[in-house]
Amino acid sequence: MIYSKEECSNIHQQKFAYLLVEESDHILNICLNRPKQRNALNEVIVRELAYALSYAHHNNDIRVVVLSANGEIFCAGADLKALLGQKDTDSGSTIPLEEKRIILGDLFSGLHKPCIAKVSKPVYAGGFLLLGGCTHVISSKSSSYTLSEVKRGIWPFQVMASLLKIMPERKVIDWCTQGRTWSAEEALEAGLITELVKDEDLDYKVDLLSESISKNSPTAIRMGLKALQDMKTVPENEQHKFLHKRLMEVVATNDAQEGMTAFKQKRKPIWTGK
């Protein structure tokens, strides 16, 4: 992750300029809070996201991350002022400067925890990178998805890479070349979102999913998602050997021992995240 465990230890004393970060019942809620700029992504908000996600990664008490947004737009993509080199020097954010460059498309890959995007508003351009990084995207029917870079003379390079992980190549090409707005129903069919719900049911469905995941072993989930990422660099003929080794490591954890003991004793397990 971009930030170490030590650097993230005082997260609740930090001042976030463009995020609302709340921790409750093993869930870290991250809300984009730059509504006047349509939650456009500049260097400050990206840095804050990197910091919050690093905290979630390092803290075994966090079992689920929920990503939402204030305002009329979930995310308008990259801040054009930032693309043109204008710096945001007076935001008031106290998040420490990163020591290595933050690549938004890679920001979620090291999280190793379920991350749910709660989408009730339009998503544009680089905002797709946030959705592509999440393990779940629950969307209301009134949301929409616009990938319009080609209409501005730009190609959505990083978005393309993220979409290719979850959508067929021809569908990705179609989305990138048409540059139009897609409905929530079309986004579900394409595989961009994982569940489509009524507007009034969105909060309930996200809470229900978060609670369902939180009841399960956080260690097993964390190690499983890490193995999923690591497996991508393992040759196909060695993947089962690699995964068997990971299985033996999971079995040796405190959570696995607790889970098997609780099953024998016919009680609910008490997870420690270890």
CATH of residue 115's domain is 3.90.226.10
* pLDDT of 144 above 80: yes
* pLDDT of 87 above 90: no
* pLDDT of 69 above 90: yes
Least Cα distance to 225 among 137, 101, 105, 133 occurs for 133
Helix locations, the chain, DSSP H: 5-8, 43-58, 80-83, 127-133, 157-164, 169-178, 184-190, 202-214, 218-231, 239-251, 254-264
Q: What pLDDT is stored for residue 177 in this prediction?
A: 97
The answer on 234 and 163 residing in a single domain is: no
Least Cα distance to 137 among 45, 47, 39, 209 occurs for 209
Mean pLDDT of all residues belonging to the chain: 95
The answer on 201 and 225 residing in a single domain is: no
Local confidence band at 16 (pLDDT 50, 70, 90 cut-offs):
very high
Residue 48 lies in a domain: yes
* pLDDT of 83 above 80: no
The answer on 227 and 127 residing in a single domain is: no
The answer on 227 and 191 residing in a single domain is: no
Q: What pLDDT is stored for residue 116 in this prediction?
A: 98
Mean pLDDT of 134-156: 95
The answer on 134 and 46 residing in a single domain is: yes
For residues 197 and 205, what is the distance between their CA atoms, to the nearest angstrom? 8
The answer on 61 and 35 residing in a single domain is: yes
* pLDDT of 84 above 90: no
The answer on 26 and 84 residing in a single domain is: yes
Local confidence band at 80 (pLDDT 50, 70, 90 cut-offs):
confident
Cβ atoms of 195 and 116 closer than 8 Å: no
The answer on 232 and 245 residing in a single domain is: yes
Residue 270 lies in a domain: no
Residue 253 lies in a domain: yes
Local confidence band at 85 (pLDDT 50, 70, 90 cut-offs):
confident
Domain extent, residue 46, equals 5-214
Query: Of all residues in the chain, what percent carry a pLDDT higher than 90?
Result: 92
Question: What totals of helices (H) and strands (E) does the chain contain, helices first?
Answer: 11, 9
Q: What pLDDT is stored for residue 236 in this prediction?
A: 94
Residue 273 lies in a domain: no
- Collect all residues with Cβ–Cβ distance below 8 Å to 117 and sequence separation of at least 6: 67, 68, 130, 131, 134, 136, 137, 138, 139
Per the structure, the count of domains in the chain is 2
Residue 56 lies in a domain: yes
The answer on 199 and 124 residing in a single domain is: yes
Residue 198 lies in a domain: yes
Model confidence pLDDT, tens digit, residues 212-267? 999 999 999 999 999 999 999 999 999 999 999 999 999 999 999 999 999 999 99
* pLDDT of 89 above 90: no
The answer on 189 and 111 residing in a single domain is: yes
* pLDDT of 50 above 80: yes
The answer on 191 and 67 residing in a single domain is: yes
